[in-house]
Structure 1
Amino acid sequence: MKLLIVLALIGVLVAFTGAGYFMLKRGADRGQMARALAWRVGLSIGLFVFILLAYALGWIEPRTLAS
């Protein structure tokens, strides 16, 4: 479960980095940047929905910090 969440977060960072690269590259097609940002948004929303679903199904539980 943790591995899947970490991989999704890495995917979000890769898409965000790709969008930044296409934004700064001279003569780059703006469609590539928009596509990379769309992937980032899609992955972020998918990860959020997955975490909510996993919580609702009892796959993950919140932890409290004991003092």
Structure 2
Amino acid sequence: MKYLVIAAFVAIIGSLATALVYMMRGGSSTEEDGTPRKNHMARALAFRVGFSILLFLVVLISYLMGWIQPTGLPLRG
């Protein structure tokens, strides 16, 4: 489970970096040859949001099924 979460975070950060690259390129809404440019930045951000929701649901379901247990810091008493 630990490796799944790490891989998901890497995918989320990678998608965010991809959106940053597309945003920094900027420019007009058409390519040089006159064809309309696809909205790559919005697609990358939508992937990031969808993947974040999927990761949250996987962790929640894993907790409810008993596959993972919380290991937080012990409370001082």
Does the TM-score normalized on the shorter chain lie above 0.5?
yes
- 1:8 lines up with 2:8 in the alignment: yes
- What residue in structure 2 maps to residue 18 of structure 1? 18
The answer to whether the 8 A contact 1:22-1:30 is kept is no
Q: What is the TM-score when the length of structure 1 is the normalising length?
A: 0.89
Structure 1 segment 1-67 matched on structure 2, within 5 A: 1-27=1-27, 29=37, 31-66=39-74
Paired residues in the alignment total: 67
Q: Which amino acid aligns with 2:71?
A: R
Q: What is the TM-score when the length of structure 2 is the normalising length?
A: 0.78
RMSD: 1.7
Bigger fraction of residues in helix: 1
